[in-house]
Amino acid sequence: MTAIDDLFTRLRASGKKALMPFITAGDPNLPFTSKVLLRLQELGCSMAEVGIPYSDPIADGPVIQASYTRALANKVKLDQIFHQIAETRRSLSMPLVSMVSYAIIHRHGPTRYIESAKAAGFSGAIVPDLLVEESAQFAKLCRERDFNLVQLVTPTTPQDRALKIAEQSSGFLYFVSVTGITGERTQLPEGLIDRVGWLRERTNLPICIGFGISKPEHVRLLSPVCDGLIVGSAIVRCLEKACESEANAIASASELVSSLLAALES
């Protein structure tokens, strides 16, 4: 059982839901990434998603793309990320999951990536560009090494395909709330709650909803039908201020996260 499995077992037993912020590793530098992770834990977040910068992101909107560009401009490397996370893990108890392109995993070597990520303190990986038809071998490697492989279900995923994705996934399912790229939205689409409810009846995996979630009202609307909520662009937008003042950036992100956590508890 991974730390992610244990987390959702405890949350379900207590009737609580997870808030999972997304941040980009190395934006604008790796020590700042550690500061943010420790602050998110201090605020009460259940888990954090750490984006591995990639020059050709699959589904990321302009805010997260810009954060990847800033990190890559500073020549952040995968091994450096792993080293920094390992250092931070000494003071960090909440689980971490990496958001990573399969191109990076393939270049690093699938087995080596899993082992390096686990050694650093990651409990799993979200791999948005790994097709379910091509995921069996990597899923097997992950299961053998007690490392969660999280895959995405989108609003346009046919029901039979969604069930196949659930079968190849572990830890939790990432349910994409909207068609398109990441980014803050004023409204979430009609039918989202029904689609998530349908899938929850057919899998025991926890379901976390992401893309477009940025407001307390989003949290209050969606938390009854899912196991967790993922917030990315809204937090990354706060943290982009770190280039001017790290303290102000963390304060801005803390205010947003606190409001979302309050909504989760209401």
Hey, which residues are catalytic here?
49, 60
Give Cβ neighbours of residue 252 (< 8 Å, ≥ 6 apart): 238, 239, 241
CA angle 16, 18, 21 (to 5 degrees): 160
Alpha helix segments (H runs only) across 15-151? 30-43, 62-73, 78-89, 102-108, 110-120, 136-144
How far are the Cα atoms of 83, 128, 202 from residue 159, in angstroms, in the given order?
A: 40, 18, 10
Angstrom distance (rounded) from CA 126 to CA 224: 23
Extract the tokens encoding 37.
């992770």
